[in-house]
Amino acid sequence: MAGNKGRGRAAYTFNIEAVGFSRGEKLPDVVLKPPPLFPDTDYKPVPLKTGEGEDYVLALKQELRETVKRMPYFVETHEEKQDIERYSKRYMKVYKEEWIPDWRRLPRELMPRKKCKKGPKSEKAKDTGKGTSLTNTADVLKKIEELEKRGDGEKSDEENEEKEGSKEKSKEGDDDEDDNAAEQEEYDEEEQEEENDYINSYFEDGDDFGADSDDNMDEATY
Amino acid sequence: MTQAEIKLCSLLLQEHFGEIVEKIGVHLIRTGSQPLRVIAHDTGTSLDQVKKALCVLIQHNLVIYQVHKRGVVEYEAQCSRVLRMLRYPRYIYTAKTLYSDTGELIVEELLLNGKMAMSAVVKKVADRLTETMEDGKTMDYAEVSNTFVRLADTHFVQRCPLVPATENSDPGPPPPAPTLVINEKDMYLVPKLSLIGKGKRRRSSDEDATGEPKAKRPKHTTDNKEPIPDDGIYWQANLDRFHQHFRDQGIVSAVANRMDQVISKWVGQWLSGIFTYLQMWPLAYSQSQHSRVNSEFQFIFQTQTSSEIVRTMLRMSEITTSSSAPFTQPLSSNEIFRSLPVGYNISKQVLDQYLTLLADDPLEFVGKSGDSGGGMYVINLHKALGSLATATLESVVQERFGSRCARIFRLVLQKKHLEQKQVEDFAMIPAKEAKDMLYKMLSENFISLQEIPKTPDHAPSRTFYLYTVNILSAARMLLHRCYKSVANLIERRQFETKENKRLLEKSQRVEAIIASMQATGAEEAQLQEIEEMITAPERQQLETLKRNVNKLDACEIQVDETIFLLESYIESTVKRQ
């Protein structure tokens, strides 16, 4: 399809004048790089609108920005431990209201589950878990005895591990069943417990507990 | 969703709700509808955090859920609703202009909390208002309730869809997620509560009427704590109604700018001498004038008439016309005359003259649809939005490329399709410059080329190339740039704030110290000393920072106004079934 190209000379198939420039004219350079990031503009932008209304909306916007940070919907990211604990950090913590969604309007799967908790409720779960695990352990021991009779030590170890795995799974299954009757207070507890690892119910003795240093052991404690 | 929109959504979510919610929200916007576990897996966040984030997003109407077959619940984000978060200050300010401080606080609470029950809103707003009032005065719940009812009547707040009250009697397990329903008629129905109380203290029992079909049955206790009488009935701000209001405002101010300027110029030509003299007089109708001056002065005073007429027509159609209708219901001239604001004493003939003037205007904001009742007039909403969008485009071209480019742009807009040669001739601009300008606008996609081939083989030498302006695509392009601009503005503001974070914290601490010292009563010298903790150059830096942040914030607000116009126009062109 190449055909004659005008015997070695370039010839356009259309009237070149129509594009806007004639032959042999100096054209602007080919652009070889992307346009600059902050190009110079010939015309400066129009100044902003000013007025009472605009000022009020501006103030509203800035206030709103500060307010949303204090709302319970602002989910804080957990910061890693800083190398130096700042004293002021303890006293600059913003007190946030708790927010409990209306669970009737939300899918059930969004409710927090029991097994993720630490605290009194989890102890209850652990207790029930222990109960089932006890029975499971009994089964496991029986199985181990049976297998030892067959005389393959390694195999029984593997089977033991499998049994442990299935024990965990069955424990989780129990927890799931318990979860269907979840109540609202669980969510509260989890909220309050997220701050630290301590179980709230333990230390009820007040501030004096553990305040005595252990360094002065020569002094008698009364 | 375009990249620019996603970036802007990400910045807005981060500012309002923090990083975790932002991560989940952006993931949902990008990937569409997904179930819970897939979200947790793909984003790498723990299940607990995903659940919390979803609760927050659903509460604020940013994410909806749907139950699919086999009980899987999928969550979908609403990108356009996320972008509305930029406009919250404007909504609140509008409520303030219409319903004063009480209305402002009600709308603010509803926007900050997503959805709330009426009693909760009333209580909170009353408390906030009481705090700002003088000692001893308190805000009555009844007043706040009245404002709430008025907001509901004018559709500025609406009910959220409800959990179906009837307990399904099937013995199977409850569904994994409730299906929320709302009846059109009930959307603005306010439950009959008699909330008695004042700010800060809540007394007396609350009653509930029995006639509400979807209200939950409350327990009749006189206990102060629980339960609230309108349990389960939540309210949210009706953003569409606010948008309707903004649109009406835009149309009225456009008419004012166009018609009233014409008329005042007209009058000015008559009274060239007296015009400047009259400008010194206050707007109030002064009795001691010369009678001729009186009558002409009255005419000038009422040059706001055309916009007032349009405003009246729009107000009359507020509730009767849906927000997406192409034009309002026809209104007869007699009705308009009766509905003009009190104190506006123009005669019927003058009103008719104005209406004819408005209907004949080439902008076609007002159209005449019949002759009964003294003439039936409608407002062409879609045309009005189109004109506003076009005006925005023209103004952008003018500010970016200069007035000669703007002339070419308006020319092409008017003549629809023009060849290169014709542009040069009509615009009276030399060929080289005209070419340069056309190509500049072409490269920025304000103008496009239309090829019309003479022969089937589309040979370039035998094809017409016509320049044309496709308003819709230019509007979309401009909207995309606006989103990018706002994202850039927010990023820059955050950068500026982060740069000076240390200085900001220091100044906050100093202020706190000064405040506490003033409270405990300190001497002037001590306060001076504390203030000097911030050196003069630091003070300068703080001033600069404050000015820059204010400017960037103001920019965001004003770009958002353009975004609103363009979005309304684009929405009006989308065909509805």
Q: Mind listing the pLDDT tens digit for each residue in B10-35?
A: 999 999 999 999 999 999 999 999 99
B481, B400 Cβ separation under 8 angstroms: no
pLDDT tens-digit map of A39-71: 888 888 888 988 999 999 999 999 999 999 989
pLDDT digits (tens, 9 = 90+) for A135-181: 556 667 777 787 777 765 444 444 444 444 444 444 444 444 444 44
CA distance A60 to chain B (A): 6
Question: What is the CATH code for B240-276+303-379?
Answer: 1.10.10.10
Q: What's the longest Cα–Cα distance across chain B?
A: 92
Tell me the two tokens of residue A94. Answer: 């913003």
Within 188-217 of A, beta carbons closer than 8 Å to B belong to none
Token couple for B60: 């604020």
| Contact criterion met (CB below 8 Å) for B2 and B478 | no
β-strand B73-77 against B63-67: which pairing, if any? antiparallel
ipTM for the predicted complex: 0.83
Please name the residues in contact with B404: beta carbons below 8 A apart, sequence gap of 6 or more: B427, B429, B433, B437
Beta bridge partners of B378: B367
Q: Is A31 on the interface with B (CB under 8 A)?
A: no
All residues at 6 or more sequence positions from B134 whose CB lies less than 8 Å from its CB, including other chains: none
Q: Give the integer Cα–Cα distance in Å for B313 and B377.
A: 9
Question: Tell me: domain B3-77, CATH 3.40.50.920, correct?
Answer: no
Contact partners, residue B212, CB within 8 Å, separation at least 6: B189, B191, B192
CATH fold group of domain B84-165+176-200+231-237? Arc Repressor Mutant, subunit A (1.10.10)
Between residues B517 and A15, the one the model is more confident about = B517
**CA B309 – CA B351 distance, rounded (Å):** 8
Mean pLDDT over B426-436 rounds to 91
CATH topology of domain B384-469: Arc Repressor Mutant, subunit A (1.10.10)
State pTM to two decimals: 0.75
The model's pLDDT over A198-222, given as tens digits with 9 standing for 90+, comes to: 665 555 555 555 555 555 555 555 5
CA-based angle B104:B162:B194, to the nearest 5?
55
Q: Which residue has the tokens 């009812």?
A: B149
Report DSSP state, residue B462: G
Judging by DSSP bridges, how do beta strands B376-379 and B366-370 pair with one another?
antiparallel
Q: Do B18 and A54 touch (CB under 8 A)?
A: no
CA distance A44 to chain B (A): 8
| Chain A neighbors of B58, CB-CB under 8 A | 101, 105-106
* Separation between Cα atoms, residue B66 and residue B179, nearest integer Å: 8
Q: Which of B24, B52, B547, B555 to mutate to test the interface with A (most CBs of A within 10 A)?
A: B52
How confident is the model at residue B434, as a pLDDT?
92
Three-class secondary structure of residue A159 per DSSP: helix
Pairing, β B197-198 against β B201-202: antiparallel
The shortest CB-CB distance from A13 to any of B176, B402, B459 is to: B459
DSSP result, B319-379: TTS-TT-SBPPPEEHHHHHHHSPTT----HHHHHHHHHHHHHSTT-SEEEEE-GGG-EEEE
